[in-house]
Amino acid sequence: LGAGGVGRAVAFLCAQKGAHRIFLLNRSGQKAVAVAEEVNAKIGRNCVQAMELAGWEKLPKKRMLAVQATSVGLFPDCGSAVIEDEAFYERVHTGYDLIYQPSQTKFMRLALRAGGKAYNGLKMLVWQGVEAFELMNGISVSGEQAAKIYEMLLKKTEI
């Protein structure tokens, strides 16, 4: 969900990891089409299909991974989800919201309520920071150190 920088990166990652079908939903259908065409061209196969968010009901009725890559629901506007209709979440086996504050977004609550699993983006933030720190300083951060950083940030992001 979302065709901005992070949504684009997620589409590339899923395609590179071998996902057969990726549905890229965005408010602007044109932006989703541009990202889908770019990913498909660089990957060398047509696995990304662009759709407008409003057309989510055309998605397959099987349960799938949904990655929320928009700013909808980000602190301090925590009461919204990019798709509000609970019927969407009945198709989600795992909801991954790249937002990390609040620690549980409305998107995540809706996924959980529909019987799916839900995760936020805090670990992504931590490992992104670890990678940058290692590159900038030429040193390694252990998994144990990263876990401590994660725990510290988890306490700070709980609302």
* 3-class secondary structure, 52: strand
Distance CA 57, CA 93 (A): 16
Give residue 159's pLDDT.
58
Give residue 77's pLDDT.
84
**Structural contact between residues 105 and 97, judged by C-beta atoms closer than 8 angstroms:** yes
3-state helix, strand and coil shares in percent for the chain, rounded to the nearest 5: 50, 15, 35
Q: What is the mean pLDDT of each run of 10 residues along the chain (159 residues)?
A: 95 96 95 97 97 95 96 90 97 96 94 97 93 96 94 83
């620690």: which residue's tokens? 103
Query: pTM score, two decimals?
Result: 0.90
**Structural contact between residues 37 and 70, judged by C-beta atoms closer than 8 angstroms:** no
Provide the token pair at 97.
């919201």
Give residue 135's pLDDT.
96
Distance CA 153, CA 159 (A): 12
Give residue 157's pLDDT.
79
């798709």: which residue's tokens? 83
